[in-house]
Amino acid sequence: MRHVTDKAVRPEKDSRERTSPITFLRQVVAELRKVVWPTQQQLVTYFLVVLVFVLVMIAYVSVLDVAFGRAVFALFGG
């Protein structure tokens, strides 16, 4: 038989309890302080890698678009 003082019976703090906006902002600032921000050199490198990747994907999709467009015109007459 369980006693009323058992932790299994007594609920801890309700996990759905709302926090105040001030507490929320303090937690956000505390988490942002933990972030390891990239250096300027890393930022430039990441930017260039993403830019090159996007340009390659644009070229790939453009080639596919032209190829499928020509195939459709050849198939159905144009």
Query: In which band, very low, low, confident or very high, does the pLDDT at 77 lie, cut at 50, 70 and 90?
Result: confident
**Per-residue pLDDT tens for 24-52?**
999 999 999 999 999 999 999 999 999 99
Neighbours of 17 (CB within 10 A): 6
pTM (2 d.p.)? 0.57
SS3 23: helix
Cβ neighbours for 38, distance < 8 A, ≥ 6 positions apart: 46
Q: What is the pLDDT of residue 24?
A: 95
**Which tokens sit at 13?**
């703090």
